[in-house]
Amino acid sequence: GESVGLHLPTLSVQEGDNSIINCAYSNSASDYFIWYKQESGKGPQFIIDIRSNMDKRQGQRVTVLLNKTVKHLSLQIAATQPGDSAVYFCAVGNNRKLIWGLGTSLAVNP
């Protein structure tokens, strides 16, 4: 069946450094890709998305990169701040199906 996986369950970075969270997916027909952030005690919160006709999209301090050739997705956070500490999920969709990854827990050290 379809799967979405993350390379690292946890990531620890120094405040001010850049963070990169990776995600791999199995279905080459996937056409939309979403990153969510979940802070403790809250539900997932949308960060950024990208469609399959793009390979890069930028938001405020975040960039999503999509490599359809190797079926890989990454989220880059610039100048990571303590408030970025959370679990980050990628979700990969095609048609009316959305498959979620397990999540990477990002810890920001002061």
The nearest distance, CB 98 to another protein, in angstroms, is: 5
**Distance in angstroms (rounded) separating the CA atoms of residues 80 and 55:** 23
How far, in whole angstroms, is CA 57 from its chain's centroid? 12
**Residue 64 interacts with another protein (CB under 8 A)?**
no
| Residue 60: both structure tokens together | 């405020």
Residue of 8, 56, 81, 97 interacting with another protein (CB under 8 A): 97
Residue of 1, 60, 69, 96 interacting with another protein (CB under 8 A): 96
The nearest distance, CB 69 to another protein, in angstroms, is: 23
The nearest distance, CB 17 to another protein, in angstroms, is: 27
User: Do 75 and 89 contact (CB within 8 A), yes or no?
Assistant: no
**Distance in angstroms (rounded) separating the CA atoms of residues 89 and 22:** 10
User: Do 35 and 95 contact (CB within 8 A), yes or no?
Assistant: no
Binding residues (CB under 8 A) for another protein: these are 4, 32, 34, 41-46, 49, 89, 91, 93, 96-102
